Amino acid sequence: MDKKIVFITGVSRGIGLELAKCFLNDGYFVIGTSRSEFNLHEQLGSENCLHIPLDVTNRDQVSSCMEKLKEKDIVPNVLINNAGITKDQLFLRMKNEEWDDVIESNLTSVFNMSKLFIKSMVKDRSGKIINISSVAGLMGNPGQVNYSASKAGLGGFTRALAKEVAARNITVNCIAPGFIETDMTNHFKDEELKNILNQIPANKMGNPKHIADLALFLASSKGNYITGQTISVDGGLYMS
């Protein structure tokens, strides 16, 4: 692809920040979002990027975002839907807002962002959409009915949209990370970590670069014939 502009949601930490670094190093102009102010230039050590404060569940904010990008002539041809939250709770105790917030943030936001950019991709007859899911969406996790449902929904979204836009040279894929070393997994106690590692055939956690490297491959021309897939990056944790 001649144009190399990537739009990454949830860019301020963990997998999102590693995605930004990886794509920047490959020559992409990186547009990253987070709900709060964040100095992306400082984090990446480059001016070849732009941070946009954005709540991906707020459709008014999402809509106005496109106007800013058109003004700067930086409409992306790669979209990575990475933003997401967890609000874990046993189902019997789960509150309505704990369900609603997770579905809105993890699934509806992907609809919002994909809808925003799909028209320009169809017009250009080129584009890549990469959704960051989770192995929890494939195998389920106790205490994560809301999170697992939201991530499982991404799989169906990915396959259906991929079928609609494949003829326009647009690919839509899903990456399902397993246990990845980020600030979201640093809270595990020694015994919990031991139990987790016992479930992983590779006997170790992954790191954000494993996810970023795959995303970069899918975004490149090397991934042009891969679409509608959910690819697990989990050290063998889930095998179907």
Point out the residues that are catalytic.
147
Q: CB neighbours (10 Å) of residue 148?
A: 20
Q: Answer yes or no: are the C-beta atoms of 210 and 170 closer than 8 Å.
A: no
Cα-flanking dihedrals φ and ψ of residue 88, to 5°?
Answer: -70, 140
Query: In angstroms, rounded to a whole number, what is the distance separating the alpha carbons of residues 132 and 126?
Result: 20
Query: In angstroms, rounded to a whole number, what is the distance separating the alpha carbons of residues 21 and 99?
Result: 32
Query: In angstroms, rounded to a whole number, what is the distance separating the alpha carbons of residues 78 and 97?
Result: 32
Q: Answer yes or no: are the C-beta atoms of 131 and 154 closer than 8 Å.
A: yes
